[in-house]
């Protein structure tokens, strides 16, 4: 049976007696028009290798397979494996299923074992409870995805793209924008999911920047932004005291009477470089 001929997702869930578990952040996309749109926005095609985190009942997986991608799907909840095996049978050679926690999975090793070490994108409707730590892993870890197309709760997606001065601007905005071009490409209401979550959602598309800061600068950036946004209403001369305070601001050419929320990403990169130079 081909992927397009498989029974509707809702029927597949019923056939296997599967319900959503809150502890796994399960909110399913059962409308294939929506999942196909996400696959299109991800730019996935025949030559693509994709790591999908949390396939669940496989709605997004179906769309990725239909687009011709080679998919490595990492699912923590073992209950979905029998249903997903049917999907693997319908797309011979395209889908590898891994039962694991995506937070601790070694993506480079997975790709070496199952895709000849090919570069890969990440496409996922992320579980909200671990969306941010997963993103940080992919932004700052040793293995780099080609692109990331990720569903978050809208508030988190907004933080990724927020500019200095905006309400949503914070540490996650600075770290994301230091290494990626980030855009929101789709908004989704709660009712698009089964069961509906309490919040709205949005898909962010992230493309790594060609010249990213080196690991030492990124480590310093984490340090400086933790201090600055840990006390975001205070002036930098005070919030940055633990990392050099006024002298650090002076070395980076940043006004120490500013507050973290008004300093653009480039300003934080300057502070991170100054932190290394003064250490």
* Residues engaged in binding ligand SAM (CB under 6 A): 24-29, 53-57, 59-60, 74-77, 101-103, 125, 127, 130
Q: Which is nearer to ligand SAM, 155 or 255 (CB)?
A: 155
> Can you say whether residue 264 is alpha, beta or left, with left for phi > 0 and alpha for psi between -120 and 50 degrees?
beta
Instruction: Provide, rounded to whole angstroms, the least separation between the CB of residue 50 and ligand SAM.
Output: 12
Instruction: Provide, rounded to whole angstroms, the least separation between the CB of residue 78 and ligand SAM.
Output: 9
Instruction: Provide, rounded to whole angstroms, the least separation between the CB of residue 25 and ligand SAM.
Output: 5
Instruction: Provide, rounded to whole angstroms, the least separation between the CB of residue 46 and ligand SAM.
Output: 22
Q: Which is nearer to ligand SAM, 22 or 163 (CB)?
A: 22
User: In this structure, what token pair is assigned to residue 242?
Assistant: 């633990």
Chain-centroid distance, C-alpha 88: 24
Q: Which is nearer to ligand SAM, 60 or 162 (CB)?
A: 60
- Nearest to ligand SAM by Cβ — which residue? 54
Q: Which is nearer to ligand SAM, 53 or 249 (CB)?
A: 53
Instruction: Provide, rounded to whole angstroms, the least separation between the CB of residue 102 and ligand SAM.
Output: 4
Q: Which is nearer to ligand SAM, 88 or 164 (CB)?
A: 88
Q: Which is nearer to ligand SAM, 111 or 260 (CB)?
A: 111
Instruction: Provide, rounded to whole angstroms, the least separation between the CB of residue 64 and ligand SAM.
Output: 10
Q: Which is nearer to ligand SAM, 25 or 267 (CB)?
A: 25
Do residues 159 and 136 lie in contact, with contact meaning Cβ atoms separated by under 8 Å?
A: no
Instruction: Provide, rounded to whole angstroms, the least separation between the CB of residue 35 and ligand SAM.
Output: 7
Best CA proximity match to 98, nearest among 112, 114, 117 = 114
Best CA proximity match to 180, nearest among 213, 150, 208, 147 = 208
User: In this structure, what token pair is assigned to residue 250?
Assistant: 């002076």
């Amino acid at each position: 049976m081909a992927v397009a001929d498989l029974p509707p997702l809702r029927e597949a869930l019923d056939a296997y007696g599967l319900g959503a578990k809150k502890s796994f952040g399960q909110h399913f996309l059962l409308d294939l028009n929506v999942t196909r749109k996400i696959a299109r926005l991800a730019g996935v095609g025949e030559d693509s290798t994709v790591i999908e985190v949390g396939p669940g009942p496989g709605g997004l997986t179906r769309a990725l397979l239909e687009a011709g991608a080679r998919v490595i799907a990492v699912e923590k909840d073992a209950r979905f494996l029998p249903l997903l095996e049917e999907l693997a049978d319908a797309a011979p050679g395209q889908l590898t299923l891994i039962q694991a926690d995506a937070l601790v999975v070694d993506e480079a090793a997975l790709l070496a074992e199952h895709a000849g070490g090919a570069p890969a994108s990440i496409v996922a409707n992320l579980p909200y409870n671990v969306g941010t730590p997963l993103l940080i892993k992919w932004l700052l870890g040793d293995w780099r995805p080609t692109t990331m197309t990720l569903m978050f709760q809208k508030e988190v997606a907004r933080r990724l793209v927020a500019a200095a001065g905006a309400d949503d601007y914070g540490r996650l905005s600075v770290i994301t924008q230091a290494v990626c071009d980030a855009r929101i490409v789709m908004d989704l209401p709660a009712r698009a999911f089964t069961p509906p979550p309490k919040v709205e959602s949005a898909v962010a598309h992230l493309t790594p920047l060609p010249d990213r800061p080196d690991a030492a600068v990124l480590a310093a950036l984490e340090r400086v932004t933790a201090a600055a946004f840990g006390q975001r209403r205070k002036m930098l001369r005070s919030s940055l005291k633990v990392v050099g305070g006024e002298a650090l601001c002076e070395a980076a050419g940043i006004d120490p009477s500013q507050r973290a929320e008004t300093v653009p990403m480039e300003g934080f990169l300057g502070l991170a470089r100054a932190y290394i130079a003064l250490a």
